[in-house]
Amino acid sequence: SEVVLSVRDLQTWFDTPAGTVRAVDGVSFDIRARRTLGIVGESGSGKSVTSLSIMRLLDPPGRVAGGEILFRGRNLAALPEAEMCRLRGQALCLVFQDPMTALNPVYRVGRQVAEAIRAHNDISYRAARDRVIELFGMVGIPDAERRFDEFPHNLSGGMRQRVTIAMAMANKPDLLILDEPTTALDVTIQAQILDLVKGLTDTTVLLITHDIGVVREMCDEVIVMYGGRVMEHGPVAAVTGAPRHPYTAGLLASIPSVAVRGQRLNAIGGAVPSPLAMPPGCPFAPRCAHAMPACDVQPALVEATPGHRVACWLEQGAEA
Ligand code: SF4
Ligand code: MG
C-alpha cells in the first residue's frame, strides 16, 4: 500500500538554560496505508515528542530542528500554521492517554463530536448528530442516543476514551496517532479499547506505548526508541520474536506474565539517563550487560536482515 507518512531524519530539540536536549535525534520511518506502526520505549525515550512533532503540537522550547515529516508528500514541518490547523482533527488525529485533554468538561459529549464534524464539513447539526450516533455505535458505546447528552464527567474513563476515539474517527483521518491510549485505564477496559482499535482495519495507525506486549498484539511494525534514537526497527514478529538489541530484549523480559499481572519481571536495571547527560556513545550503555569499549561511539542503525534494523555494536562484529 502507499506511504501515508514518511519521517526522515527527524531532529526535535529543546533549548534549555542547561543546554540543548536532543529529545528526538535522527528518527526515520514510513507508515503505509492501513498498517499499524508502534513506537515503544520507556518514558523519556522520545516517543511522545515524535508524535507531537508530527502534529506540530510541541510546547516551547521544543522545536523541529531538522529533518522532514512528509504527509502524503507534503512536509508538515514547513506547512503554514493555518493549513496545519485544517489537517489536525481531519486528516491527522491524535488521541492522548487522558481523554479529558480532548474533551471539554462543560459540553455534552455528543455535541462535542458533532461540532468536530461540522468544523470540517458543511453539514447540518441534525446530520452531524446522526453521524455521531453511528460513530458511537461503531466504537462500542451502548445506548448511544442517551450517551449523546451526557457530560464527560458522567462517563467512565473507558467510555470517555471511546468518545475521543469516535471524535478522532469522525472525519475518517488518513492517520490516527494514539499516544498511550490505554495507560490510564484498568486492565479489562484496556483490552476492550485495544480490541476497538484493532477493529479499525481501514485506518492507518501510529501507536505510541511503553508496553511492548501491546505492540506485539496490535502492530505490524515496530520502532524501539531509547534516548531519542531508534534502537531497533522492523516487522513485529521479527523484533518481538527474535530481538537483536539488548534494550528490546530487556523490554520483552519485563512483560508481566498472566500469572503475576501487575508485577514486573526482570525489569531493566538502572534508569533512563538524564537528557542533559546522554552518554556520548550508545545511549543504552550504562544499563547494558554487553557494554564494551566500542560502545563509547554511537552505533549506526544498520540492516541486520532485510527490513530489520538494529543499532548495536554486537550486530556489527565489535568484541569486548
Ligand atoms: Fe549494549 Fe553496546 Fe549494543 Fe549499546 S551498542 S546495546 S551498549 S552492546
Ligand atoms: Mg508519553
Report pLDDT digits (tens) over 231-280: 999 999 999 999 999 999 999 998 876 545 555 556 788 888 888 888 99
The residue among 172, 196, 218 that closes a domain is 172
pLDDT of 7 over the 70 cut:
yes
CA-CA-CA-CA dihedral for 231, 233, 237, 238, to nearest 10: -70
**Counting atoms of ligand 1 from 1, which one is nearest the CA of 245?**
6
Kindly state whether residues 28 and 129 are assigned to the same domain.
Answer: no
49: in domain: yes
Query: 37, 221 in Cβ contact below 8 A?
Result: yes
User: Cα–Cα distance between 246 and 235 in angstroms, integer?
Assistant: 17
User: Cα–Cα distance between 50 and 171 in angstroms, integer?
Assistant: 23
- Residue with the three cell numbers 488518513: 174
Per residue in 10-45, pLDDT (tens digit) is 999 999 999 999 999 999 999 999 999 999 999 889
pLDDT of 223 over the 70 cut:
yes
Residue 60 burial by CB count (10 A; 0-12/13-18/19+): exposed, middle or buried?
exposed
Report helix, strand or coil for 75. Answer: strand
pLDDT at position 274 is: 85
Kindly state whether residues 110 and 164 are assigned to the same domain.
Answer: yes
What pairs with residue 235 in β-bridges? 221
Kindly state whether residues 193 and 74 are assigned to the same domain.
Answer: yes
- The mean pLDDT value of the chain amounts to 93
Q: How many domains is the chain built from?
A: 2
Angle subtended at Cα 110 by Cα 106 and Cα 111, rounded to the nearest 5 degrees: 60
> Which residues have any ligand 1 atom within 6 Å of their CB?
245-246, 282, 284-285, 288, 290-291, 295, 299, 312-314
23: in domain: yes
Longest dimension (CA), the chain: 69
The residue among 172, 188, 206 that closes a domain is 172
Expressed as residue numbers, the domain containing 54 is 3-91+174-271
261: in domain: yes
HSE-up of residue 32 (Cα within 13 Å, Cβ side): 8
Of 36-40, 65-69, 196-200, 243-247, the poorest mean pLDDT is in 196-200
- What average pLDDT score do residues 175-195 get? 92
Q: What is the pTM assigned to this prediction?
A: 0.94
Report helix, strand or coil for 282. Answer: coil
Strands, E, within 17-61: which ranges?
Answer: 19-32, 36-40
Give start and end residues of each alpha helix (H) in the chain: 47-55, 81-87, 109-120, 125-138, 144-147, 157-169, 187-198, 212-218, 236-241, 246-253
Pocket test for ligand 1, best of 247, 296, 314, 316 (most atoms within 8 A of CB): 314
Supply the residue whose CA is at minimum distance from atom 7 of ligand 1: 285
Nearest partner of 177 among 26, 44, 39, 24, judged by Cα:
39
Kindly state whether residues 154 and 184 are assigned to the same domain.
Answer: no
Q: Report the complex ipTM.
A: 0.95
304: in domain: no
pLDDT of 300 over the 70 cut:
yes
Between 293 and 262, name the one with better pLDDT: 293
User: Residue 60 maps to which CATH number?
Assistant: 3.40.50.300
**Counting atoms of ligand 1 from 1, which one is nearest the CA of 291?**
7
Q: What is the 247 CA–ligand 1 centroid distance (Å)?
A: 8
The strand pair at 36-40 and 221-226 is best described as parallel
